[in-house]
Amino acid sequence: MNLEQKDWWEGFLTTEDAVILDVRTEEEVANGIIPEAINIDIYKGQGFIYQIEELDKNKTYFVYCLAGGRSAQACGIMKQLGFEKVYNLVGGISQWEGPVEN
């Protein structure tokens, strides 16, 4: 499900066991990351799948990338793998107005 920034961030802050998932490359992450996010690069192909499959399917995932395309794709993959609660950040970190750490 696609969420605008405000709803995405409020959802993360008010959901127990919520996880922020950054699906960008290491180089992109070096430019800044949303606090508490874990990074699993979607460009790793099968490696991405392996790492996603190790995550707890009962948790709620708030997913983002640079502009929203890769994270939407990641949400679709996660749904196929049995994750029910995945939310894509529309516009990605490029339009993010919330906290960022380097």
pLDDT tens per residue across span 25-48: 999 999 999 999 999 999 999 999
Q: Which domains does the chain have, with CATH numbers?
A: 2-95 (3.40.250.10)
- Tens-place pLDDT, residues 45-82: 999 999 999 999 999 999 999 999 999 999 999 999 99
Is 75 assigned a catalytic role?
Answer: no
Determine contact, residues 24/70, Cβ cutoff 8 Å.
yes
Residue 45's identity, in one-letter code, is G
Determine contact, residues 38/19, Cβ cutoff 8 Å.
yes
> Global pTM?
0.96
Residue in 65, 66, 74, 89 annotated catalytic = 65
Report DSSP state, residue 98.
Answer: S
DSSP 3-state of 3: strand
* Distance in Å from the first CA to the final CA of the chain: 28
